Structure 1
Amino acid sequence: MARRNRTATPFSTRLKRWFSILVALLLVWLGGAFVYIERVETLPQPSEERTDAIVVLTGGTARLATALRLLNDNKAERLLISGVSPSASKASLLQAVLPAMPDAAQASGNWEGIDLQLLFECCVDLDFEAANTEGNAVEAAEWAESHGVRTIRLVTSNYHMPRSLAEFGRRLPGVTIVPHAVRSDTLRVEDWWRRQTATVFLLGEYTKYLAALLRARLESLVAGGPMPASVASGTAS
């Protein structure tokens, strides 16, 4: 009987140690999540500097409307809309974004506003390949190289910006990324803890962000160099 007790004690001690480690990791993860979401809520104002191009990640009309206004304001020469559905077209995107842009119209000879049709025809490219944030960065890197782009204004939702910067910094190490965060038109970050849907979504986004940072770190270790540092002032990562 005493022999069984001697073997059971080390196991229970190890179990308690593992439990303590898991609790500590959970507390660190939760603490990091609170810091992450607080930073998302209080992102700095986007820089006013001009860039070679704009890249907007699909996921809401607010993102696209913001990118089109920036293009119309001559903040860049070209715009890439990344992650477009294969069934979509420039015409369908134009129609979809019109309700979010009361100051816009299609071609109109005497209308003082944003001519979306002209913008789409002259300066907008569509990426149909990307299916996730990493894919957005991969396609944007190929597009940037083909157009000789050295600076990009990245437009996406505020909660999505940290992970986007991590992925874009990994895939576009020689390109300067200027973050331009947009308040989501489908998810309100403020008072997120009071709403279960927002809590689950934001904690999931934070976990994906950590995974993106881990991938970047592992790649830098394998390559034997420092992590990419290509994000301009105003970074949210």
Structure 2
Amino acid sequence: MARRDRDEESTSFPTRIGRWLMLLAALGLLWLGGGIAYVERVESITVPSTEKTDAIVVLTGGGARLATALRLLNENKAERLLVSGVAQTATKASLLQAVLPAMPDAVQASSNWQGIDLQLLFDCCVDLGFEADDTAGNAAETASWAAARGYKTIRLVTANYHMPRALVEFGRYLPGFTVLPHPVRSDAMRVEDWWQRRTATAFLLGEYTKYLAALLRAHLGTQLTATLEQKAVTSAPQSVPVQPAAPPVEEKPADEKPQ
């Protein structure tokens, strides 16, 4: 009997290992398939129409992003621009110098764009956000900035590969806002032939993994909010109807005794 038990255990152990390996392989294939779909989604995100919004928000990470945001601001696509995630040591002057290489040659030579002085444009209509360290921080910083100014529509400028994750975080921190995605193509990280370049493959699949984490945080946050709201409703004290107080009984004066 004991030998039979040992034989069964020795047989079941490899079986369990095989099942775990099959499960891991299935999860890996599922993750890889999702990554491919993610890249296809990145390629399919289109620039919205010329619709004007209350504000433009650009997430730091490349000169092309800021150059695109400044062009949109110069074309009167919004009243104001927030540059979110700026380094603590940065200034408007240093940002202008950093973005000039991404501008057309004529703009680089004169710092003038279609008759608009870029330094004046920075001074009048650009705000710098120093609080954000990641995409969720960008969204939180934008929410505070937009609420203080009464903005409700935002054009979001960031790299095309970063846009899906950014939209998840902005949807989490800015409920009720209209966020128009304005993706910027990155020459350094092309998505057309990403599978042929090891660096691009690793980068985009890493970005996809971050996107999944953002989706999970958003889902858990929604579930937690719903749970807390339900608890608040069930634990709220029930109102008890209060009976109106009876009117006071007037006391009649006692008859005076005869002298």
Instruction: Return the match for 1:21 from 20, 23, 32.
Output: 23
SS of structure 2 residue aligned to 1:216:
helix
Instruction: Return the match for 1:194 from 193, 196, 210.
Output: 196
Question: CA offset at residue 101 of structure 1?
Answer: 1.5
Matched with 1:206 is 208
Does structure 2 conserve the Cα–Cα contact (< 8 Å) formed by 1:104 and 1:113?
Answer: no
Question: CA offset at residue 100 of structure 1?
Answer: 1.5
Distance (whole Å) between structure 1 residues aligned to residue 176 and residue 59 of structure 2: 20
Of structures 1 and 2, the larger Rg is shown by: 2
Instruction: Return the match for 2:36 from 28, 34, 37.
Output: 34
The one-letter code sitting in structure 2 at the alignment partner of 1:165 is: L
- Aligned sequence identity (%): 66
Question: CA offset at residue 107 of structure 1?
Answer: 7.0
CA RMSD of superposed structures (Å): 1.7
Does structure 2 conserve the Cα–Cα contact (< 8 Å) formed by 1:51 and 1:76?
Answer: yes
Matched with 1:55 is 57
Distance (whole Å) between structure 2 residues aligned to residue 213 and residue 79 of structure 1: 27
Matched with 2:122 is 120
Does structure 2 conserve the Cα–Cα contact (< 8 Å) formed by 1:84 and 1:128?
Answer: yes
Structure 2 alignment gaps of length 5 or more? 228-259
Structure 1 alignment gaps of length 5 or more? 226-237
Distance (whole Å) between structure 2 residues aligned to residue 23 and residue 123 of structure 1: 52
Matched with 1:104 is 107
Matched with 2:241 is none
The one-letter code sitting in structure 2 at the alignment partner of 1:12 is: P
SS of structure 2 residue aligned to 1:135:
helix
The one-letter code sitting in structure 1 at the alignment partner of 2:77 is: K
The one-letter code sitting in structure 2 at the alignment partner of 1:139 is: E
Does structure 1 conserve the Cα–Cα contact (< 8 Å) formed by 2:100 and 2:111?
Answer: no
TM-score by length of 1: 0.89
Does structure 2 conserve the Cα–Cα contact (< 8 Å) formed by 1:62 and 1:185?
Answer: no
SS of structure 2 residue aligned to 1:224:
helix
The one-letter code sitting in structure 2 at the alignment partner of 1:181 is: P
Matched with 2:219 is 217
Distance (whole Å) between structure 2 residues aligned to residue 17 and residue 114 of structure 1: 66
Instruction: Return the match for 2:173 from 171, 174, 181.
Output: 171
Matched with 1:229 is none
Distance (whole Å) between structure 2 residues aligned to residue 216 and residue 113 of structure 1: 44
Q: Deviations over 1:55-97 (max 9, x none)?
A: 0000111000000000011110000000111111000001111
Question: CA offset at residue 98 of structure 1?
Answer: 1.4
Distance (whole Å) between structure 1 residues aligned to residue 83 and residue 114 of structure 2: 25
TM-score by length of 2: 0.82
Instruction: Return the match for 1:157 from 146, 151, 159.
Output: 159
Instruction: Return the match for 2:89 from 87, 109, 118.
Output: 87
Matched with 1:3 is 5
- Paired residues, what number? 223
Q: Deviations over 1:89-124 (max 9, x none)?
A: 00000111112222536676xx84342111101110
The one-letter code sitting in structure 2 at the alignment partner of 1:128 is: F
Question: CA offset at residue 223 of structure 1?
Answer: 1.4
Question: CA offset at residue 221 of structure 1?
Answer: 1.1
Distance (whole Å) between structure 2 residues aligned to residue 214 and residue 112 of structure 1: 45
Q: Deviations over 1:168-193 (max 9, x none)?
A: 00000121110000001431222011
Q: Deviations over 1:18-38 (max 9, x none)?
A: 222111111111101001101
Higher relative contact order (CA 8 A, sep 6+): 1
Matched with 2:252 is none
Given the alignment of the two structures, is residue 69 of structure 1 paired with residue 71 of structure 2, yes or no? yes
SS of structure 1 residue aligned to 2:162:
helix
Distance (whole Å) between structure 2 residues aligned to residue 112 and residue 153 of structure 1: 22
